[in-house]
Structure 1
């Protein structure tokens, strides 16, 4: 036993096995090898004897606890969620560390006083990206639970530093709402945080405090937009807890005065931009740009509606003259003449889903092609965007 002084008291342990769990037992020095079931090839570990007072000074005061540490030791690479491709720092942790122990170590590394403001997100081993859903406050028991992904184990975690403690944030619903001003060209995206039991009306009231309205009495509405179509106008009494803004764009806008007093035959219709593409000898409609709602009045011709559309979109005469207008139902365009009365076409009131009907504006999509889903609503006449938190 190298390093052993004869007058120094020691403790002996037998390392019985290391996999799949560590088993290490204290050897009673009073017994013979045979009585202790020690045989040729067995592993015996030794350490200095520590008094109860001295044992408290060490994190791993004996051989079994040290072997447990070595067995569960895990180097974890932490990345900021905003820079998900770059390692920020690495910590040596234990797979048995609790949720609180892990976030406390991360907070210490970042010089943060409140560990509850740390939110962690697991790593997807297949996509090499952060998982869509972060880890809830104390939502897992140990570090091992944070790192497992199906049958694989990762060594990467992503972190965020929140402006409020995570337990408080989890009681809130966070929505990103793009506000479209009536006259200004700029779209501003606001982050709205409200209790989960709040309603769409609460979102609108909160938004009114942050945006610039055309007049103090202006009313707002909240729309759900996906792939350049309006899929829903939210009722003000609807709960916000189940609203998803991860794939759908939430858009807020003022309700025009003309929509507030519709006659029995007047209609609020959907107006979408589109182009035609031919694929495998079949004509396909491709929507693009910003969809919008518009009132058509009883007896109003397409020529009259076109004047209002050009004014709304501020399209130059030369370009607008080349646009074609069509009534679309079930994805099939029926081209319209200036003399056509639109209210004769739009008879249905349930214009969503498979039976959707809309006025299509056919013209070239001159916007740069973008792949990322966050840009799915961008088009030629798009307004510049600001994001406020």
Structure 2
């Protein structure tokens, strides 16, 4: 171990809206981070979270797995317990961080679109208030691009940022695409990261007025550029032929294709291989859609030698297997989310809960890339001579 590795900053992570823990896993598999508290209101998701860690060599959270409504942490006994846990974590770790992606249908153009007035939309405000009250050293907020690009939702997002700035945080944000980190899907998400002023000054950074981290290097751990990927001549639509074989097209990146990840995770032999919804309308509906036809609003057939359009598996968007007359399985969906093949969902979980938590989760490689980006910012900020992340005025 080098001297620099010995001096690496340790960070205790408090996770909220954890789902099955895809975002958490990205941090847990990045040196310097340890999840110490997990909050997920929906108990089946929490069961997946706990069970999936058994084969992934992940340390149990010091302060346990919690299924309370996040609003309970703003008042009373749960709020006091969180305060006590934070104090304990700060005595063990160099830094303490909050991470979370509040439920997003109310900000999704394709979802409820109720914004802050929706029940799920209110949870984003609650998460921000939780950060403001508890003052972790840093935080990560993840949500759908509708929060960033839709005018009426953007007003809420801007106000939320203003509240965080007033409470002492310096911010940086970016609309990321999971494909740039190597996940085989075109999936955009807004990421907001904040650091407490005192944390930054403790690093030795000079703060020059603006509350924005202008040189936070969002691309330090990306592998590809989205524009370069999408400019390639990817296959479009081809006749659906059940159980057919097709050669890989020349000149494309195989690692970004659905079939590559199916092979990588050995999805046919995965414990969740037979977990998929049976067709209600019969086989003709599934057989009529061409391989690669993902333009329809509902039924989309993936192309084996192309990335997935996203990872939504709800009632409104049905993803079909490229060359089988069925929906994709849970094991295939986990592969598209770039998870390790050791990630397994228990047999007793309903199909609805399986696919809902898979679709809601942050692609693992994107989560790991974000964790590594944060880690690099922290480590380089501690090295004044690098001048890596000087905060400058707009």
**What TM bracket, shorter-length normalisation?**
under 0.3
Higher relative contact order (CA closer than 8 Å, sequence separation 6+): 2
Of Structure 1 and Structure 2, the greater strand share is in 1
Determine which structure has more spread, i.e. the larger CA radius of gyration.
1
Which has the larger share of helix?
2
